[in-house]
Structure 1
Amino acid sequence: MDLQIALLLVQDGIVNGAIYALMALALVLVFSVTRVIFIPQGEFVAYAALAMAALQSGKPPAVLWMLLALAALTLLVEAVRQARGAEVDWKGTVVWAVLLPALAALMLLVVQPQSMLLQVLSVLLLVVPMGPLVYRLVYRPLAHATVLILLIVSVALHLVMVGLGLFFFGAEGSRTAAFSEARWDVGGMTISGQSLVILGVTALLVVAMFFFFERSIVGKALRATAINRVGARLMGIPTSLSGDLSFALAALIGAVSGLLIAPVTTIYYDTGFLIGLKGFVAAIVGGLGSYPLALAGALLVGLLESFSSFWASAFKEVIVFTLIIPVLWWRSLNTHHVEDEE
């Protein structure tokens, strides 16, 4: 290996690490607020990428009907809950189950966007509402279950969403047009505009997340819920709303990730699982609770995958996922067992 090859591998590792960083941030966010290890996070990546590919081929994404079905089922569930005397947040329900799905249907079926900006907006309107709708239908009834039960439910939901992805998008892979076709030759190394777009958008999202959690009232409420759910409820913070927002942010991050990587790799209906799993490894490095450590773990995973593909391409996935073993071993030696919070 010479210096030029090493620089190319570092570039590839950093770009891949940026995507894994977004996955890790979403997983840490959801787990911190709801105690859910959200295995289907990668499905949002695949849905967004394949929906964008469908739009660019001139067809409305069939997964729109899944969104509308989720919205209708959510409205039905909320109506039943109110009939049984439960308190229902109809403002949030209207936003997630009526307004955003209606806008998505309007954009995809009536406007049929041709410009890339409108196509990106349409995909975000399509994918983002799925997060809170899935939370309300699947996870909110199990809000007091143990982490193990929530993990089992996540695995089951992942299998369902992968199957729905195969049904709506088919088994063929797709790519989308790049956001930037520019290329620069720097010291014998080619740098693509799409790589810079990925790094730039990732940095922008990380900074936006920082200001959201540090400066906004809603972000501080989410942090309070993550630190102590019972205390947050006693202070009047609606923890169900926190679940909605955390899953919406996770869906947004997944959709943006899918839009970013679709131009550089072929996406299939089940591609998101592997991407999400590598993001999970990065999140484990951060202990499923530290955003900076999750970012560092994502960069480590990206670089390890890149250099493994050069030295032992047949075993690169094994090498990446083996990273989780020493991390868990080290954490098991340095942490004390505590009972689940009530």
Structure 2
Amino acid sequence: MAKVCPGCECNYFEFIQKFYRDNEASIAYLRDHGVLPLEVICPRCKTPCHYRAERHTWYCGKYKKIAKTKRRKQCPYSASDFNGSFLSGARIEPYKVMCFANHWLSKQWDYQTVSQCLGISLATGAAWQKYCSEVTEHWLDNQEPIGGPGIVVDIDETLFGKMKYEKGKSLSQIWVFGGVERDSKNYFIVPLEEPVSQNLMSLIQKYILPGTVIVSNRWNAYNSIKDYDYVHQVINHSGDSIDEENAEAHTKNVELLWRDIKEWTPGPGNRLQFYKQYLARLLFVQQHTFSTVNHYFFREVARMYPPDFENEETPSNSCNDVQKEHDHENKESEVSD
């Protein structure tokens, strides 16, 4: 896990105190975390652009000589600071994006609070919840593998979801699969697609490094583990080792993980298609301390939406407006040598 930026650790209220109604500080934070670019290279001239802070715009402005004349003209390229970023097309101010994410990453998240405090509509809140969810789902799909030669990893599967009034048919459920390192307690968790056993080995190979000692229950889907580059130990559901040589084999660590996570499991009535969304947010918050969760969230934002202006050729409408103003201020753009 990457080191937290100096001075970046702050709790929920400290984060609000730092950035509420302060777009300048918010943009600086986003730039420091790679969400916004530190520099933009003009794709036409291949030279660094100038930044116009009041317009959040990068522009080139380099003069080029016109062939076979003594005249020169100025490069018209300009681009919004937010092009291709998490804030691309955003209709709310940067500080509101920061505060929205801060609240969304808390256990007390709710639409009404964020709508009233930030002055945004419920529809805007729903849209930004979707954007934030895409970030944590991206993180969930790209978790670092665990284990390694000689390292013990307990694996298990469980069913998330509750029955209405604890009886009858469950309204929404999803199978999830995970593993925990016996010593370090590093773990991964991913949802299982139906049928749950078909993609199991591909997930094991993706999230567990070769040479790992894998401990599992007797589920038939785990039988093929021994055919790959793993050491496989098996227990039964009572916790008794089947192999007398592996008497200490157990899956208590992963079972404790299920217990902790299910405290945050969405209640009855939640839609099945959003369970991965719920799970991703839950795991992201659980794997990071409350004082660093924003740091890692915006680092993941930068990983998902890296600023890239190399292929940007046509300025957006807002950039055109800025360029017109720039051209007006430099109406002598074509001058003699």
TM-score calculated relative to the size of structure 1: 0.24
Instruction: Write 1 or 2 for the structure with the bigger share of helix.
Output: 1
Higher relative contact order (CA 8 A, sep 6+): 1
Instruction: Write 1 or 2 for the structure with the bigger share of strand.
Output: 2
